[in-house]
Chains A and B, each alone.
Chain A
Amino acid sequence: QQPVQSPQAVILREGEDAVINCSSSKALYSVHWYRQKHGEAPVFLMILLKGGEQKGHEKISASFNEKKQQSSLYLTASQLSYSGTYFCGTEKGTGNQFYFGTGTSLTVIP
């Protein structure tokens, strides 16, 4: 039921790029991305509502391949502030239920 994310964890140096993938065994009608810093609540980053849609947020962008039931989050020129756990999420049924992926821990080091 839960989307699967890969990689599970990644360590980057400042300025490096990273890609986080989110795959679902069921059809995805929308994909959400959230970031949770240690000890804090998850914070919304962006939502993709259509297949093929790409969105950007600062140096963080995402794509959505509805046919492949996948979404990817791209982090370019990473900064220390990007460290945290990233979750993809999706809705189920009538949209009353939100489910999250398995999470990706991202650590940016100097």
Chain B
Amino acid sequence: EADIYQTPRYLVIGTGKKITLECSQTMGHDKMYWYQQDPGMELHLIHYSYGVNSTEKGDLSSESTVSRIRTEHFPLTLESARPSHTSQYLCASTLSGANVLTFGAGSRLTVL
């Protein structure tokens, strides 16, 4: 049973709109992650955080931004969505030293 929640699950939006993908976990995990997954299956790390007020970019360049004001909340924002942002976005979390990621169900974004 997942204790990490992502909303919305599906979003279809027009070019130029601002969107925020929400991710919340109730497990008290200090580390949180955002992955982008295209239909070709690969999971690409785009952002991560190892605690409140810490955010870092992953290896895949992304125009999105993230924030970590509360331990349980790690939202991802796109200021101006473009068709190239169409993808599935997966949020994950873990506790330091645990080494096991728990994933949310994902947010599938389509930009027209």
Contacts and interface: CB of A to CB of B under 8 A. Distances in A.
Interface of A: 1-2, 30, 32, 34, 40-44, 47, 49, 85, 87, 89, 91, 95-100, 102-103, 105
B90 interface: yes
B101 interface: yes
A11 B90 CA distance: 26
A98 B104 CA distance: 15
Interface of B: 2, 31, 33, 35, 41-45, 48, 50, 56, 58-59, 90, 92, 94, 96, 99-106
B99 A96 contact: no
- With a 10 A CB-CB cut-off, give which of B43, B101, B104, B105 has the most chain A CB atoms: B43
A44 B100 contact: yes
Contacts of A95: 96, 99
Nearest to B98: A47
Contact of A96 (B31, B59, B102): B31
Given A30-B99, A41-B103, A98 B45 contact: yes
Given A42-B90, A95-B96, 14 more contacts: A32-B100, A34-B101, A41-B90, A41-B104, A41-B106, A42-B101, A42-B103, A44-B102, A89-B101, A97-B48, A100-B42, A100-B45, A103-B41, A103-B42
B7 to A, nearest CB: 14
Nearest to B40: A103
A37 to B, nearest CB: 12
Nearest to A1: B59
